[in-house]
Structure 1
Amino acid sequence: MDKLRSLSSVLALGLVGLLAACGQQPTTDPLTKSDAQKLKESLVQSNKYLVAAIASPSGVVTTSRVGGLNLPSPVANVILASGLEPQSINCTASETPPKAQQQDLDNDKIPLQASYQVDCRVGDTRLKGGIVLRDKNDNDPKSGYTLDTNQYELTFNTGKSNESGLKLDLDVDVTWSNPNYAVRYNFNFEIYGSDGRFGTTYAYTATYAPDNAQTPFAGGTFNYEGTLDFRTATKWYRLSGKATNLKYSSTCKETFVSGSWRLEDTRGNTLQVVYNACDNVTVTYNGETL
Structure 2
Amino acid sequence: MVEEAHVTSNICQPREILTLTPILDIRFYMLIILPFLILLVFIQNLKVLSVFSTLANITTLGSMALIFEYIMEGIPYPSNLPLMANWKTFLLFFGTAIFTFEGVGMVLPLKNQMKHPQQFSFVLYLGMSIVIILYILLGTLGYMKFGSDTQASITLNLPNCWLYQSVKLMYSIGIFFTYALQFHVPAEIIIPFAISQVSESWALFVDLSVRSALVCLTCVSAILIPRLDLVISLVGSVSSSALALIIPALLEIVIFYSEDMSCVTIAKDIMISIVGLLGCIFGTYQALYELPQPISHSMANSTGVHA
TM-score, scaled to structure 2 = 0.26
TM-score, scaled to structure 1 = 0.27
Higher strand share: 1
Higher helix share: 2
Give the number of the structure with larger relative contact order, counting CA–CA contacts within 8 Å between residues 6 or more apart.
2
